[in-house]
Amino acid sequence: MKIVIEPRLIAPCGMNCALCSGFQRSKNKCDGCRGNSELLPKYCLICIIRNCDFYNNSAALFCYECPKYPCKRLKQLDKRYRTRYGMSMIVNLDFIKIRGIEEFISSEVLKWTCNNCGKLVSCHRSFCLSCKAQIK
């Protein structure tokens, strides 16, 4: 089974929403930061980055396009994700800026595919949500 991550699932902050447990769950499934607002959890709706004036008032797709990049809020988010989940939004954004969205998505599929069942794992869990295998 080939895993496909749509480019719209890469949030302005560099988060791959396809890796989010909110996107992967079966009930009350989130549609990703760029998706249908009616399906987003409250914390996504009020996200400072998603509601940033620069992002909402320009044609920018990603935070790296902002003159304030990386802003204080992005640095805070990046630190939390590096500490808790072993991933970096700033590294993701720099990768996208230099190598492009398609290559980023390809690298994400390789990095986040479960070795046991072949489905995407959630960056928020230490086990695969599909088969319950432990993630290394």
Is the pLDDT assigned to residue 1 strictly greater than 70? no
In DSSP terms, 113 is beta-bridged to 120
The model's pLDDT over 87-100, given as tens digits with 9 standing for 90+, comes to 999 999 999 999 99
Contact 51, 127 (CB under 8 A): no
Alpha-carbon distance of 5 to 104, in angstroms, equals 10
Over residues 105-136, the pLDDT tens digits come to 999 999 999 999 999 999 999 999 999 999 87
